[in-house]
């Protein structure tokens, strides 16, 4: 399999790709990377055949057309290659290749085609077709270096720029982890392609990422999104690349677009969107995204995710929503800390009855790190409700369960309550 790999433009084929050395002047005139390449003209070989060989070869082809493969092979096996001209030998091995291909004996077929090419005696158009097929065969066998060597042989006499040949060359280099060598071929393939090829562009993208050419990768991804706006993966990768380049606003925008289009459904992506909003001080949007995602069932209402939601509503000063979230967290928690936190939020809004009840539930559930703080908070709320006896009881409980600071605080409140009630005892 091709490794995940990435973009660069060779401006109108007149400039080398970024990250690649401009050594085109040292390349032969026919080389595929030369912007001014000119293919060589191959001298056409003699194509005469003896009458007896022609009859045998024609009969072999008739048998192949009739699907009499075994009989065709027997006929060809009776021909002695040592008595043939190079052209006749090339024709014979080519026919062997056809026969073995029809029999699905691929290795033997390409061994025969290889012998055919060694003779270098077929007309150029036929020879080029076999050379190109051999390059593809080597690639399929993961013999990538041989594939590229064969492709260079093909390029030497190929006048037109064929994008499929460039992508094969680039993919072979990529498979050998030669990313800088792969890049200019893949770029040219994408430039030459009449229609955008998603797999080819993704290969170019992956090479850019592999080479840490993040600006080029970002530009290519933005083009991909313009071509295939429904592909969620491009938005997610674009967001991660923006984060890689410390462009948090870009990262946020890249995920916000698919969110509003209803495309963002994976929990990880939605949580990343929420956290980016929090980081960029948009807690309301973070809370709305998470709350809606939980309603849709895209984000699980577990403790970790609810904590993120609670953080969003708390920072946004959305107290009612924060309290509702705390209620859910408190039910999932094994201790009373979330009820304590709820009491503190209600204290800020002056909901004294709510504070008293939340403190009661916190103390009842237990497991508190500082129960004395909870008793003090409950006592303050009771005092605000003018339930002074209960308030003093709460402060006395704080004195018994807290440290020195809590005891001093509780004593101060007891003194304050007694002053208000005129109790001097």
Render pLDDT for 201-237 as a digit per residue (tens, 0 to 9). 999 999 999 999 999 999 999 999 999 999 999 999 9
Structural domain contains residue 411 = yes
Residue 401 has pLDDT above 90, yes or no: no
pLDDT, averaged across the chain:
90
Confidence of residue 423 (pLDDT cuts 50, 70, 90): low
* pTM, to two decimals: 0.79
Among 1-5, 39-43, 143-147, 182-186, which is the least confidently predicted range?
1-5
Residue 9 has pLDDT above 50, yes or no: no
Mean of the pLDDT values across residues 62-89? 91
Residue 54 makes CB contacts below 8 A (sequence gap 6+) with none
Confidence of residue 339 (pLDDT cuts 50, 70, 90): very high
Structural domain contains residue 10 = no
Structural domain contains residue 369 = yes
Determine contact, residues 16/183, Cβ cutoff 8 Å. Answer: no
Q: Which of 131, 123, 125, 130 is nearest to 148 (CA)?
A: 131
Domain that holds residue 351: 339-425
Confidence of residue 257 (pLDDT cuts 50, 70, 90): very high
Residue 292 has pLDDT above 80, yes or no: yes
Structural domain contains residue 389 = yes
Mean of the pLDDT values across residues 96-113? 92
Residue 317 has pLDDT above 80, yes or no: yes
Please give the structure tokens belonging to residue 175.
């498979």
Determine contact, residues 358/365, Cβ cutoff 8 Å. Answer: no
Residue 404 makes CB contacts below 8 A (sequence gap 6+) with none
Q: What is the pLDDT of residue 424?
A: 56
Please give the structure tokens belonging to residue 265.
């459904």
Structural domain contains residue 376 = yes
Q: What is the pLDDT of residue 20?
A: 34
Q: What is the pLDDT of residue 374?
A: 94
Residue 18 has pLDDT above 80, yes or no: no
pLDDT by residue (tens digit) across 20-43? Answer: 334 556 889 999 999 999 999 999
Mean of the pLDDT values across residues 321-347? 92
Mean of the pLDDT values across residues 286-291? 97
Distances (CA, A) of 113 to 74, 130, 133, 145: 18, 7, 9, 18
Which residue bears the tokens 């392609």?
193
- Burial class, 276, CB count within 10 angstroms (exposed 0-12 / middle 13-18 / buried 19+): buried
Among 145-154, 159-168, 258-267, 330-339, which is the least confidently predicted range?
330-339
Structural domain contains residue 393 = yes
Determine contact, residues 192/161, Cβ cutoff 8 Å. Answer: yes
At 344, which CATH number? Answer: 1.25.40.10
Q: What is the pLDDT of residue 12?
A: 22
Residue 2 has pLDDT above 60, yes or no: no
Structural domain contains residue 380 = yes
Structural domain contains residue 111 = no
Mean of the pLDDT values across residues 407-417? 90
Let me know the angle formed at the C-alpha of 36 by 35 and 38, rounded to the nearest 5 degrees. 125
Distance in angstroms (rounded) separating the CA atoms of residues 120 and 128 = 10
Residue 7 has pLDDT above 50, yes or no: no
Number of domains comprising the chain? 1
Confidence of residue 403 (pLDDT cuts 50, 70, 90): confident
Residue 271 has pLDDT above 60, yes or no: yes
How many other CB atoms sit within 10 Å of the CB of residue 250?
A: 15
Distance in angstroms (rounded) separating the CA atoms of residues 336 and 330 = 7
Distances (CA, A) of 414 to 93, 109, 254: 107, 99, 57
Distance in angstroms (rounded) separating the CA atoms of residues 135 and 148 = 7
pLDDT by residue (tens digit) across 354-375? Answer: 999 999 999 999 999 899 999 9
Confidence of residue 80 (pLDDT cuts 50, 70, 90): confident
Q: Which of 192, 281, 238, 209 is nearest to 4 (CA)?
A: 209
Q: What is the pLDDT of residue 33?
A: 95
Which residue bears the tokens 């072999």?
60
């Amino acid at each position: 399999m091709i490794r995940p790999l990435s973009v660069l433009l060779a401006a109108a084929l007149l400039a080398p790709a970024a990250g690649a050395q401009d050594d085109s002047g040292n390349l032969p005139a026919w080389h595929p990377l030369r912007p001014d390449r000119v293919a060589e003209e191959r001298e056409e070989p003699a194509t005469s055949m003896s009458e007896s060989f022609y009859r045998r070869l024609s009969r072999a082809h008739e048998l192949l057309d009739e699907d009499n493969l075994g009989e065709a092979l027997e006929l060809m096996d009776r021909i002695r290659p040592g008595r043939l001209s190079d052209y006749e030998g090339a024709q014979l091995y080519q026919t062997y290749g056809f026969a073995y291909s029809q029999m699905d004996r691929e290795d033997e077929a390409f061994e025969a085609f290889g012998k055919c090419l060694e003779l270098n005696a077929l007309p150029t158009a036929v020879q080029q077709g076999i050379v190109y097929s051999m390059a593809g065969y080597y690639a399929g066998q993961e013999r990538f270096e041989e594939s590229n060597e064969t492709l260079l042989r093909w390029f030497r006499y190929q006048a037109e720029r064929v994008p499929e040949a460039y992508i094969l060359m680039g993919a072979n280099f990529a498979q050998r982890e030669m990313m800088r060598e792969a890049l200019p071929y893949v770029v040219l393939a994408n430039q030459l392609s009449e229609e955008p090829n998603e797999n080819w562009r993704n290969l170019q993208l992956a090479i850019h990422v592999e080479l840490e050419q993040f600006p080029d990768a970002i530009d290519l991804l933005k083009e991909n999104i313009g071509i295939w706006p429904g592909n969620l993966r491009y938005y997610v990768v674009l967001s991660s690349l923006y984060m890689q380049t410390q462009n948090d606003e870009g990262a946020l925008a890249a995920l916000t677009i698919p969110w509003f289009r209803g495309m963002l459904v994976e929990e990880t992506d939605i949580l990343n969107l929420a956290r980016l909003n929090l980081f960029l001080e948009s807690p309301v949007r973070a809370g709305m995204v998470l709350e809606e995602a939980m309603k849709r069932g895209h984000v699980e209402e577990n403790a970790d995710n609810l904590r993120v939601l609670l953080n969003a509503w708390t920072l946004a000063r959305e107290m009612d929503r924060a309290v509702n979230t705390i209620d859910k967290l408190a039910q999932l928690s094994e201790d009373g800390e979330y009820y304590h936190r709820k009491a503190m939020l209600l204290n800020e809004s002056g909901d004294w009855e709510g504070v008293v009840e939340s403190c009661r539930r916190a103390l009842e559930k237990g497991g508190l790190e500082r129960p004395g703080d909870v008793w003090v908070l409950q006592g303050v709320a009771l005092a605000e409700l003018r339930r002074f006896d209960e308030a003093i009881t709460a402060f006395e409980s704080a004195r018994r369960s807290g440290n020195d600071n809590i005891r001093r605080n509780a004593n101060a409140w007891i003194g304050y309550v007694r002053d208000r009630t005129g109790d001097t005892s």
